[in-house]
Structure 1
Amino acid sequence: MYVDSHCHLSFPELAGRLPEIRAAMAAAGVDRAMCICTTLEEFDTVHALALAHDNFWCSVGVHPDNEGVREPSVQDLVGLSARPRVIAIGETGLDYYGMEDRKGGRSIADLEWQRERFRHHIRAARQVGKPLVIHTRSASDDTLRILREEGEDGSAGSAGGVFHCFTETAEVARAALDLGFYISFSGILTFKSAAELREVAAFVPLDRMLIETDSPYLAPVPYRGKTNTPAYVPYVARQIAELRGLAAEQVGAATSANFERLFRPA
């Protein structure tokens, strides 16, 4: 009934609990999940999860905030994306958040390596015809600009994809939708502080929306502060349903259909 379109089951907080997590997913009606890759070094572990379980799929990519890891070439991403059950390129994008504290006081100009890495992912996605999983934080203008410069405008030949764990403004959501992208909401939507984000979720068309946990992070209310798992994705659906006057099951069905249409899992 529900699909978690973005989770990190290879991360230490979850990797040793897989039987428990899968049982909880089944009990909660979460019948599928996409396991997200954040480094090339991690890919084999993430891919093994997708190969071992017929309701898991995976992506290949290098998170924009990861430094000191193997840098992905277009050829790397194209080759790995051809493996079975790899259905997306990413997560990729740009992350300028907290540069003074987290990036050694560097300026945006100093993060050209992020922008070049992002372009490699876009070019690979267009080459293989698989959608992008976009992470953007405090960088929406450059994210949108680079997508446009690389031809991601929703026209023929575009890879498309999803802006995951969306926390930006309605203006950014409209721009992403205009480029042909989907918008995915996480447990942040349930936080008391997320009133403006809930307005965005009420605006985004239901047929262009996904839901996710981004687990092990961002557990929804009433589990905020605890380790998140895919079994909690129905709480995101319930929040969206409340905003739109729908049943949670309707949101689950719609977002599951969107997942199938965007990622074409086989």
Structure 2
Amino acid sequence: MLFDTHVHLNAEQYQEDLEEVICRAQSAGVTHMIVVGFDRPTIKKAIELAEAYDFLYASVGWHPVDAIDMTADDLAWIEELAEHPKVVALGEMGLDYHWDKSPKDVQKQVFREQIRLAKKVKLPIIIHNREATQDIVDILKEEGADQVGGIMHCFSGSVETARECIEMNFYISLGGPVTFKNAKKPKEVAADIPLEKLLIETDCPYLTPHPYRGTRNEPAYVKLVAEQIAEIKGTSYEEVAKATKKNAFKLFNIES
């Protein structure tokens, strides 16, 4: 019943036990996952995984932290991959002001280029945002990103920002932090945003939900995210699972 919209099964943390991780996810009710690539090696692996498993799909893009490394050839390659039948989105892309590897102006340019490409190939986009909310919202508006829409991945902003993003044709995706006792904003967003605009994710191997916080995350734990949202909304786990899966199918244009 569950659709994990953001996994990094292409990460080195799963090299030893990928099959077991996938089996645990299926046992927990996870029927579909998006494997997100964000540079040359992870994009290649995401495609390989999507080709190997019928329930895995890929998203391809360039991470803002590594924006300074992206070349015109990389962008052209991503455009080529957008034609792959298992590639359902571009990203993750966006802005990350926490790390200083890539200058802000370079990040913004690479972000804009990827939005323009997404509009050209008609695929939704997956947004990475770290300490850059206003600049991301401004660029999404300026570039007309509402034409393709997408996901505000692992959303950590305010209810007001979430509503603004929904107006731009974006879904709000919640992950492990919504289960943290001290995570005020994600809980407020879970309470406020209607189910038809929510998605769920793990961002595994990162952001592991309570009570496994501090250990490696994996897709099976997306069930904990769905259960927490259900509790916050005063609805059933089944209702959250069903709605968020339906939303993902619609966004990624996957036939149910």
Give the structure-1-normalised TM-score: 0.91
Contact 1:219 1:227 in 2 (8 A): yes
1:149 maps to a residue whose letter is: E
- Please give the secondary structure, in 2, of the residue aligned with 1:66: helix
For 1:259 and 1:67, locate their aligned partners in 2 and report how far apart those are by CA, in whole Å: 27
Mapping of residues 92-241 of structure 1, within 5 Å: 92-97=93-98, 102-103=99-100, 110-152=103-145, 154=146, 158-241=147-230
Q: Which is further off, 127-136 or 62-71?
A: 62-71
1:225 and 1:12 map into 2 onto residues whose CA distance is 17
> Which residue of 2 is the match for residue 252 of structure 1?
241
Once the two structures are superposed, the pairs formed by residues 48-59 of structure 1 within 5 Å of their partners are 48-59=48-59
SS at match of 1:237: helix
Q: Which amino acid is 1:49 matched to?
A: L
Counterpart CA distance in 2 for 1:122 and 1:261 is 20
SS for the counterpart of 2:151 is strand
Query: How far did 1:83 drift?
Result: 1.4
Secondary structure of the 1:42 match is: helix
Cα distance in 2 between the residues matched to 1:136 and 1:195: 18
- Whether the 8 Å contact between 2:173 and 2:201 is mirrored in structure 1 is yes
Q: Which amino acid aligns with 1:50?
A: A
Task: Return the offset for 1:253.
Answer: 0.5
Across the two proteins, how many residue pairs are aligned to each other? Answer: 254
CA distance in 2, matches of 1:161, 1:132: 5
Alignment-mate amino acid for residue 218 of structure 1: L
CA contact (8 A) 1:40 1:60 kept: no
What residue ranges of structure 1 are gaps of 5+ in the alignment?
none
* Cα separation, 2, equivalents of 1:7 and 1:15: 14
Alpha-carbon distance between aligned partners in 2 of 1:129 and 1:170, rounded to the nearest angstrom: 28
Q: In the superposition, relative to structure 1, how do residues 15 and 69 fare at CA in structure 2: closer, same or farther (>3 Å)?
A: farther
TM-aligned CA deviation for residue 67 of structure 1? 5.2
Counterpart in the other structure of 1:82: 83
Whether the 8 Å CA contact 1:77–1:121 is kept in 2: the answer is no
Question: Aligned letter for 2:27?
Answer: A
For residues 164-193 of structure 1, the C-alpha deviation after alignment (integer angstroms, 9 at most, x for no partner) is 000011121111011110000000100111
Letter in 2 for 1:125: A
What is the aligned partner in structure 1 of residue 23 from structure 2? 23
Instruction: Quote how far apart the aligned CAs of 1:214 are.
Output: 0.1
Could you tell me which runs of 5 or more consecutive residues in structure 2 were left unpaired when the two chains were aligned: none
Q: Distance in 2 between matches of 1:148 and 1:15?
A: 39
Question: For residue 35 of structure 1, what is the aligned residue in structure 2?
Answer: 35
Please, what is the CA RMSD of the aligned residues?
1.5
State the shift of 1:126 in Å.
Answer: 0.5
1:12 aligns to what? Answer: 12
Amino acid at match of 2:17: R
Contact 1:75-1:124 within 8 A present in 2 as well: no
Residue 243 of structure 1 and its aligned partner are, at CA, apart by 0.7
Deviations 1:63-112 (A, max 9, x none): 11125634355433221111120000000011112xxxx327x9xxx411
Moved more, 13-22 or 221-230: 13-22
**Residues 33 and 55, structure 1, Cα contact 8 Å, conserved in 2:** yes
Does the aligned pair in 2 maintain the 1:7–1:34 contact within 8 Å? yes
- Scaled by the length of structure 2, the TM-score of the pair is 0.95
CA contact (8 A) 1:51 1:84 kept: no
SS in 1 for 2:93: strand
Q: CA deviation at 1:121?
A: 1.0
- Does residue 1:91 correspond to 2:88, yes or no? no
After superposition, the C-alpha distances for 1:197-232 in whole angstroms (9 at most, x for unaligned) are 201111111001100000000110111111000000
Partner of 1:64: 64
